[in-house]
Structure 1
Amino acid sequence: MSQSRKLKFALQARKICTIRLHIAPEGLKAGDIISYGGEPTIGNVLQLSEIPIGMRISAIETSPGSGPKLCRSSGSFATVVGRVGNKITVRFSSGKTKNLHEKCLIFDVNKGNCFLPFVT
């Protein structure tokens, strides 16, 4: 847990001797496996093209390879609402929509880290 921010982190060790820290989504616990690709389950890293319409996501890249920039704060999320060509439309909890490239990664299939309350 981050002492300054009170967030829980997921430590990911990869075969290539790299270690990454991710903000742990709600429902992820010690010993759970985080994978790249595959089924859209809690904590998995997926491309937007692999996410079914209607699913809530957070920690979203704005362009492929940029790292998560959108919906990173506690409790924030977006919903996949449509597909047109290689663009995926997501709607944020504020009601705004954004078209993103299908190769953008999302780092959390859920509703974000809810360990802290919403700030309104």
Structure 2
Amino acid sequence: MKKKLFTKKNGRNNVGRITVRHRGGGVKRKYKKVDFKRTKNIYCVIKKILYDPNRNCKIFNVCYSNGLKNNIISIQSLKIGDKIIKKDDAENLTGNCKLIKNIPIGIKICCIEIIQNKGAKISRASGCFSKIISKGEKYSIIKTNSGNTIKINNLCYAVLGVIMIKVDKNNKKSGNFRLKGIRPTVRGVAMNPIDHPHGGGEGKTSTGRHPVSPWGKKTKGLKTKTTKRRG
């Protein structure tokens, strides 16, 4: 069976028009399947730390005690050979997955379910974590990395710990950006008058007007907030 390739949009919308400039090209990306549900309730051992081109964090390749292998989101401070488990009342150790009702208040958690048995939806990006700030009989209040608070059922699962931070390599040449699918950005002054309001003229010239975008909107200090109510 062929691995599914990640389809690219290249900055275009459903009609095919460019809505985001300077996107296109790049290396083909294969989609690596990640188990956000942690379907097996048995011990597993971390075998490899893999790179995933479609995420801003790495993934763990784990092997369960029954021989099955799977990919899960990587957690900080875990290394190859460590054991983790999904269990309703597992120990409070980094990497273990357990019910929210059994997690103490204040511990850092990630990969949190919103709906029971539907898989992790919150705090899945690099360096993200959330905290339980209060508990009730049926629901808990969780504070996310962004500062928002969410009410989640106590029977949902969450993973203890923080998502592993991915360290980006230094982009020492423009070729690295092209591999990521980022195309060159050209100054408006260097364009023709038909392409940009700053373009044209003999040799190097100043814009001769307030700096604007390619569509003529002011780019420095223009307030875009609308105070009028819509309705």
TM over 0.5: yes
Q: Match of 2:51?
A: 2
Say yes or no: does 1:110 pair with 2:161: yes
Deviation at 1:43, TM superposition (A): 0.8
Alpha-carbon deviation of 1:116?
Answer: 4.2
- Alignment partners' CA distance in 1, 2:86 and 2:114: 18
Q: Partner amino acid for 1:114? A: I
2:134 maps to: 82
Answer whether contact 1:9 1:22 (CA < 8 A) is retained: yes
Distance 1:73 1:104 in 2: 19
Kindly indicate whether the alpha-carbon contact (under 8 Å) linking 1:26 and 1:115 is maintained by their aligned counterparts in 2. Answer: no
Paired AA for residue 161 in structure 2: N
- 2:151 aligned with 1:99, yes or no? yes
User: Which is higher, the Rg of structure 1 or of structure 2?
Assistant: 2
Shift of 1:15: 4.5
1: CA distance between counterparts of 2:51 and 2:119? 20
Give, in whole Å, the separation in 1 of the partners of 2:162 and 2:56. 18
Percent sequence identity over aligned pairs: 24
User: Which amino acid is 2:63 matched to?
Assistant: A
- Residue 73 of structure 2 is matched in structure 1 by 23
CA deviation profile, 1:73-106 (whole Å, cap 9, x unmatched)? 0011111111111111100122211111111111
| 1:17 CA displacement | 5.2
What's the TM-score, normalizing by structure 2?
A: 0.46
The structural deviation recorded for 1:61 is: 0.7
Aligned Cα RMSD in Å? 1.9
Task: Please state how far the C-alpha of 1:14 moved relative to its aligned partner.
Answer: 2.8
Partner of 2:117: 65
Q: Is the 8 A contact 1:57 1:77 kept in 2?
A: yes
Q: Please name the residue that 1:33 is paired with.
A: 83
Gaps of 5+ in 2: 1-49, 169-231
> Residue 35 of structure 1 aligns to which amino acid in structure 2?
I
Give the Cα separation in 2 of the matches to 1:79 and 1:6: 21
The TM-score normalised by the length of structure 1 is 0.85
TM-superposed CA distance for 1:63, in Å, is 1.0
Following TM superposition, the consecutive aligned residue runs of length 4 or more in structure 1 with deviations greater than 4 angstroms are: none
Greater fraction strand: 1
Which runs of no fewer than 5 residues in structure 1 stay unpaired?
none
Contact 1:47 1:106 in 2 (8 A): yes
Counterpart Cα distance in 2 of 1:116 and 1:68: 23
Structure 1 residues 15 and 31, CA gap change in structure 2 (3 angstroms): closer
